[in-house]
Amino acid sequence: MRRVYLDHAATTPVDPEVAEFMAQVLTEVPGNPSSIYAEGRQARALVDRSREEVAAAIGAEPAEIVFTSGGTEADNLALRGVLKAREGEADGIVTTAIEHHAVLDTAHDLEAHGQARVTVLAVDRDGRVSPDAVRAAIDDRTALVSVMHGNNEIGTLQPIAAIGTLCREAGVTFHSDAVQTVGALEIDVRVLPVDLLSVNAHKFYGPKGVGALYVRTGTRIATVQTGGGQEKGRRTGTENVAGVVGLGAAMRIAVARRAAESARQGVLRDRLIAGIASRIPDATLTGHPIERLPNNASFCFRGTQGEALVVSLDLEGFSVSSGSACTSGSTDPSHVLLALGLERDLAQGSLRLTIGRDTTTADIDRLLDALPPIVARLRTASGAAVPA
């Protein structure tokens, strides 16, 4: 029986068409994009085409796309770049308690070195931040507001249109980590009031190690590394041509398939959520019940441990996670789940199931058959009272 992969929030398999394009570049395009002779011009043309593909997918101009090594670097460039550009003028960062560590750790590092004042806003039980709370946190020294679009652990979508509007009214730069939503939801920066947007290729069937930061024209941002001045001086270093080509191709394919595929995944997600809720007593859905990513179903099961759930399901042929892949191996409950106000013993029994292009109804039904006895066994082994 084939294994069932249900951890697409951590990473997605590279699309075969994307892999083919990348292989051609690796074997047939030896040039450096900064070189002016034929091989360099060939590489530059491929980078430029990919920049156009990424820009078109989100309604941006090609010049507004900066290629990076992934979502983490894009988040770092957004926060550090804006603070550096506004040095001596503004030093406030407003963010939320459920951001990815690439944002939270960066903000706290800036604060630890005396470069920023950080305000971390609470979220409600569903993981949503109030736009009014964002408005109240902004002062005349606020340089940046950073609120992710879709949470990587619980799937909750934030009201970034409303937050972006109030940031624009206040004259504050607005960044959103959209790593989980680009490729899954329609994003048009011509109408969405966001100044900076982080993208990561391996979340939508592209390669690992390449991403992008959208930088709206006129947004003040400084480079955070020195070097050869590539990417118009905003991110120096020789471009990863094959990776960039993979990013562009993956983005183009994702946009073409987005409407139908996200709707299909949403049906499977709802089947999964309803099945777990009806078959497993005392199962706690985490994240917003409606405003959530189309592929995300996340639960906590009291009397279990997330690692034990992952290992048990692995033995049954399922690849799942207990939260963010970036913090795997930690025995502490997720900061995201604790920010929802969940008790620590409940948060420790977390399970994240994220659907992908290859997921079928039969896969979901297999999981629904396998999971209830695993949860019951773990609860019994822990000595926890098994709910009726």
Q: Which residues are identified as catalytic?
A: 326
Residue 96: strand pairing partners: 121
Number of H helices, E strands in the chain: 11, 12
Q: How far apart are CA 317 and CA 81, in angstroms?
A: 44
Q: How many other C-beta atoms can be found within 10 angstroms of the C-beta atom of residue 8? A: 25
In this structure, are residues 123 and 139 in contact, taking their beta carbons and an 8 Å threshold?
A: no
Q: How far apart are CA 232 and CA 223, in angstroms?
A: 10
Tell me whether residue 16 is exposed, middle or buried, using C-beta atoms within 10 angstroms of its C-beta: 0 to 12, 13 to 18, 19 or more.
Answer: exposed
Tell me whether residue 367 is exposed, middle or buried, using C-beta atoms within 10 angstroms of its C-beta: 0 to 12, 13 to 18, 19 or more.
Answer: buried
Q: How many other C-beta atoms can be found within 10 angstroms of the C-beta atom of residue 87? A: 12
Q: How far apart are CA 362 and CA 81, in angstroms?
A: 47
Q: How many other C-beta atoms can be found within 10 angstroms of the C-beta atom of residue 241? A: 23
For 371-388, b where at least 16 C-beta lie within 10 A, e where not — what string?
bbebbbebbeebebeeee
DSSP secondary structure string, 95-120? Answer: EETTS-HHHHHHHHHHHHTTS-EEEE
